[in-house]
Amino acid sequence: MGAPWFQIRHFEDSDGLVALSANFALYGDMSDRMMSLAAGLGHRQEIYSIDESFIDLTRNKILG
């Protein structure tokens, strides 16, 4: 995870590694959509990074 390509390039031939380029605009858009949906789960949300957030569920009632 996070290794530079020159260090793992040999896996391309030996293990069938496939390298794909990232689509950061799409990833950012999908992150925004997911964060909006997640915000509805609790009364407070803290967005930690583009793909992580914390939702405060302490005020939610337990169903059942």
pLDDT in tens, 2-23: 788 899 999 999 999 988 888 9
Q: Which residues contact 48 (CB under 8 A, 6 or more apart)?
A: 54
The answer to whether the predicted template modeling score (pTM) of the entire model surpasses 0.75 is no
pLDDT over 90 at 61, yes or no = no
Please report whether residue 16 resides in a domain: no
Chain centroid offset of residue 62 CA: 27
Is residue 48 within 8 A of residue 34, CB to CB? The reply is: no
Per-residue pLDDT band at 60 (split at 50, 70, 90): low
Please report whether residue 35 resides in a domain: yes
Predicted local confidence at residue 58, as pLDDT? 86
How many domains does one find in the chain?
1
Pairwise CA distance, residues 12 & 3, whole Å:
14
Predicted local confidence at residue 35, as pLDDT? 96
Please report whether residue 4 resides in a domain: no
Please report whether residue 11 resides in a domain: no
